[in-house]
Amino acid sequence: MKHYFFVNPVAGKGNQSNELIEDIRTAMQGSESEYEIILTEPNRESEAKARDIAEGLNGEAARFYACGGDGTANEIASGVIGFDGVELGIVPIGSGNDMIRNFPDAGNFMNVRSQINGKSREVDVMKFMRIVGGEEQTGYCLNMFNIGFDCNVVETALNLKKKKFFSGAAYQTAIFLNFVKKKGACLDIYEDGNQIREGKMLLCAISNGSYCGGGIKSAPQAMVDDGYFDLNIVNDVSRLRFIKLLPKYKEGTHLEVDGIDKIIYVKKSKQLSLKPKGTKDFGICIDGEISRTEGINIKICEKALRLIVPVDEN
């Protein structure tokens, strides 16, 4: 079996990639398997690189390892989805690393030997078609779409991480700053052509996995292999009501709160369409990467990806 390690040299704090490369070489030393280390490039060039390699394998078994954060995992997965014999591993050297949190019983994702010894598991992915500048764009999302408050927090946190003083507490600081602004989203949401929600909301998340923002369990009911994604909407509630809910929202116990159905709308679905209401477009965070869109259609692709779940050596 061939092994391809796509290493993001600027992921996370930007100083883990060299150490990881040495770990890869040590782990593969003496192995009869072929391997290659490929540094990722800006503008999703590595998605095309991964696709070209996967296509050239002609069904031969191979493992592709996305070494970075959730954005790197999305990039490499988007290149290999649909090819027989290909499995994806995630080595989490990014800042959020939320996709791997959906596998609490797995071995050490950071250990290269555990990755190589790992067993693959079929998981769902979300495929989307969005409108950007009047043009259609297609792609995949592994873990979660975030719109409104969540998206605004991610954008603020990314900006704060560029400042040394905030780097260790960027996400918590971003939550506070956006709590003060209380900027959400205004959307029309359709399921199979029927409108199911409209108007202002604090946040909207479409979740394949349970976690966002570096470990916030915002969608505890979501499962990566149940054939559905979960629509989670926090209504346009007051600041006081939201701040009271926030600790339970972080730990994933918010759905147990009495009267939560007045605050949060949750629905399992296989297909949704979202359009801006009263504005030209809206911000959306796709596996941690932020952009703007004039509308997006999302559907579930059942068991479309074979994901490596690490197994630690005894």
CB contact at 8 A, 71 and 287: yes
Tokens of 228: 């559905």
CB contact at 8 A, 85 and 305: no
d(Cα 287, Cα 270) in Å, to the nearest integer? 18
Phi, psi values for residue 122, rounded to 5°: -75, 130
Condensed to tens digits (0 to 9), the pLDDT of residues 196-224 reads 999 999 999 999 999 998 899 999 999 99
Residues (pLDDT < 70) of the chain are: 13-14, 164-168
Distances (CA, A) of 281 to 94, 139, 274: 29, 18, 10
Tell me, what amino acid is at 36? E
- What architecture is the 2-97 domain classified under in CATH? 3-Layer(aba) Sandwich (3.40)
d(Cα 130, Cα 150) in Å, to the nearest integer? 19
For residue 83, what are the β-bridge partners? none
- pLDDT at position 140 is 98
d(Cα 174, Cα 155) in Å, to the nearest integer? 8
Condensed to tens digits (0 to 9), the pLDDT of residues 228-285 reads 999 999 999 988 898 899 899 999 999 999 999 999 999 999 999 999 999 999 999 9
Q: What would you report as the CA-atom Rg of the chain, rounded to the nearest whole angstrom? A: 19
- pLDDT at position 164 is 62
Domain with CATH 2.60.200.40 in the chain: 127-302
Domain with CATH 3.40.50.10330 in the chain: 2-97
- pLDDT at position 14 is 66
d(Cα 261, Cα 147) in Å, to the nearest integer? 20
Element (H, E) at 47: helix 45-57
- pLDDT at position 131 is 97
Distances (CA, A) of 110 to 16, 20, 93, 134, 276: 11, 9, 8, 41, 39
pTM listed for this prediction: 0.92
Whether domain 127-302 has CATH 2.60.200.40:
yes
Neighbours of 279 (CB within 10 A): 10
DSSP assignment of 54-100, as one string? Answer: HHHHTT--EEEEEEESHHHHHHHHHHHTT-TTEEEEEEE-SS---GG
- Closest by CA to 306, choosing from 107, 77, 139, 152, is 77
- Closest by CA to 232, choosing from 257, 211, 215, is 211
CB contact at 8 A, 248 and 257: yes
- pLDDT at position 243 is 84
Helix (H, G, I), strand (E, B) or coil at 38: strand
Neighbours of 257 (CB within 10 A): 15
